[in-house]
Amino acid sequence: MNEFAARIEWDFPLRRKEKEKMEFRTWLVHTFKELGYTPKLESGESALAAGGGVTNVVVGDIDKAKIVLAAHYDTGVRELLPPLICPTRPLTFLLYQALYPLLLVAGSFLLSFAVTFPLFDVIGRISTVIALFSHVDWKPIPHDCAAGIDEMQTAKTAIS
């Protein structure tokens, strides 16, 4: 059985497109026939909300079987992160769900940094060139209100 599973993993790692699924089913039926079984294809509608048709490879008669073995060989869904969600691990599920907003915030930060840093860098360089070549004179600001320390102390006491 290990060789069988290894062959599936090696030759049919992804089965998202209908052609990939059909090639896998063809190989599976052929392999079961070589092993002396009589496989058949059963088609139906998916019970999932996303819908769609399903085709299962069935070996043997389910009504006469004493033991039923089921193998789930579906390919996982496409996700931003690897599929870490497991119904038996609620904490892992919550952490996984929390990563999406964090990745969104981090991506937004990096995008804003990638846009604003060059913008401010260009503005800074232009300001530097202007400052180097323009003549700026210092002009004193006239103050016509002269108050001594005693007057400020009196004003401070009056306020408080």
The DSSP line for 73-88 is -PPPPP-SS-----TT
Residue 44's φ and ψ, nearest 5 degrees, are -170, -170
Residue 154's φ and ψ, nearest 5 degrees, are -65, -45
Q: What is the pLDDT of residues 106-142, one digit of tens each?
A: 999 999 989 899 999 999 999 999 988 888 788 888 8
Q: How large is the average pLDDT for residues 85-99?
A: 67
Question: What is the distance between the alpha carbons of residues 124 and 120, in angstroms, rounded to a whole number?
Answer: 6
Q: Is the pTM of this model over 0.75?
A: no
- As a residue count, the chain comes to 160
Whether the Cβ atoms of residue 59 and residue 66 lie closer than 8 Å to each other:
no
Helix axis angle for 2-11 and 18-34, nearest 10°, is 150
Q: How large is the average pLDDT for residues 33-41?
A: 89
Mean pLDDT of the chain: 79
Q: Specify which of 4-18, 68-82, 83-97 reaches the highest per-range mean pLDDT.
A: 4-18
